[in-house]
Amino acid sequence: MKHKQIFLVVIGVIFWIFQSTGFAVNRPNIVFIFTDDHAYQAIGAYGSRINRTPNLDQLAAQGVRFENCYVCNSICAPSRAAILTGKHSHLNGVFTNRERFDGTQTTFPKLLREAGYQTAIIGKWHLKSDPTGFDFWEVLPGQGVYYNPAFLTPQGRTNYTGYTTDIITDLALDWLRGERNSDQPFMLMVQHKAPHRPWDPGPKHLNLYDGVSIPEPQTLFDDYKYRSSAAQVQEMTIAEHMNSRDLKLNFPGNLTEDQRRLWEDAYSDENEKFKQARLEGKELVRWKYQRYIKDYLRCIASVDDNVGRIMRFLEKSGLAEDTVVIYSSDQGFYLGEHGWFDKRWMYEQSLRMPFIVRWPGSARSGTVNRHLTQNIDFAPTFLDIAGVRIPEEMQGRSLLPLLKGKNPGDWRKSIYYHYYEYPGAHSVPKHYGVRTRQFKLIHYYELGEWELFDFLHDPDEMRNVYSEPEYQDKVKELKSELLRLQENYNQKNPEASHQERVQKLLKESASNVGLKLVYRMQKKTGSDPLIPEKQNIDPSAKTLTVGALCNPEAADGVLLAQGGESFGYSLFLQGGAPCFAVRTGGEIRQIAAGDRVASSRRALITGVVNSDGRLRLYVDGKMVASGEGLFIERKPADVLSIGGDTGSLVADGYGESNAFSGSMSDIRIYYGVLDKAGMDEWIREGK
Q: Nearest CA to 374 among 428, 429, 325, 414?
A: 414
Are 394 and 319 contacting, i.e. CB atoms less than 8 angstroms apart?
A: no
Q: Which stretch binds Ca ion (CB under 5 A): 22-30, 73-81, 187-195, 403-411?
A: 73-81
CB of 325 to Ca ion, least distance (A): 21
CB of 293 to Ca ion, least distance (A): 17
Burial of 503 (0-12, 13-18, 19+ CB in 10 A): exposed
Provide the terminal-to-terminal Cα distance of the chain, rounded to the nearest Å: 96
Task: Give whichever of 35 and 574 is closer to Ca ion, judged by the CB atom.
Answer: 35
CB of 583 to Ca ion, least distance (A): 37
Q: Which stretch binds Ca ion (CB under 5 A): 37-45, 210-218, 220-228, 655-663?
A: 37-45
CB of 76 to Ca ion, least distance (A): 4
Q: Which stretch binds Ca ion (CB under 5 A): 329-337, 401-409, 588-596, 654-662?
A: 329-337
CB of 299 to Ca ion, least distance (A): 13
Among 24, 29, 35, 36, indicate the residue that binds Ca ion (CB under 5 A): 36
Q: Nearest CA to 344 among 96, 524, 65?
A: 96
Q: Does the footprint of Ca ion cover residue 138 (CB under 5 A)?
A: no
Task: Give whichever of 375 and 414 is closer to Ca ion, judged by the CB atom.
Answer: 375
Q: Which stretch binds Ca ion (CB under 5 A): 9-17, 273-281, 326-334, 538-546?
A: 326-334
Q: Does the footprint of Ca ion cover residue 342 (CB under 5 A)?
A: no
Q: Does the footprint of Ca ion cover residue 421 (CB under 5 A)?
A: no
CB of 596 to Ca ion, least distance (A): 37
Q: Which stretch binds Ca ion (CB under 5 A): 30-38, 199-207, 294-302, 568-576?
A: 30-38
Before 217, cis peptide (omega within 30)? no
Task: Give whichever of 337 and 449 is closer to Ca ion, judged by the CB atom.
Answer: 337
CA atoms within a 13 Å half-sphere pointing along the CA-CB vector of 51: 26
Three-class secondary structure assignment of 269-327: HHHHHHHHHCCCHHHHHHHHHHHHHHHHHHHHHHHHHHHHHHHHHHHHCCCHHHEEEEE
Is the C-alpha dihedral spanning 315, 319, 323, 329 positive or negative? negative
What angle is formed at CA 605 by the lines to CA 603 and CA 608, rounded to 5 degrees?
A: 160
Q: Does the footprint of Ca ion cover residue 76 (CB under 5 A)?
A: yes
Pairing of strands 118-123, 367-369: unpaired
Task: Give whichever of 78 and 336 is closer to Ca ion, judged by the CB atom.
Answer: 78
Q: Does the footprint of Ca ion cover residue 37 (CB under 5 A)?
A: yes
Are 650 and 583 contacting, i.e. CB atoms less than 8 angstroms apart?
A: yes
CB of 80 to Ca ion, least distance (A): 9
Task: Give whichever of 195 and 339 is closer to Ca ion, judged by the CB atom.
Answer: 195
φ, ψ for residue 423 (rounded to 5)?
A: -65, 145
Q: Total number of residues binding Ca ion (CB under 5 A)?
A: 4
CB of 126 to Ca ion, least distance (A): 8
Strands (E), 340-458: 355-358, 367-369, 373-374, 415-419, 431-435, 439-444, 449-454
Before 215, cis peptide (omega within 30)? no
Select the residue whose beta carbon is closest to Ca ion and give its number: 76
Among 330, 384, 421, 454, indicate the residue that binds Ca ion (CB under 5 A): 330
CA atoms within a 13 Å half-sphere pointing along the CA-CB vector of 177: 9
Q: Where does this chain bind Ca ion (CB under 5 A)?
A: 36-37, 76, 330
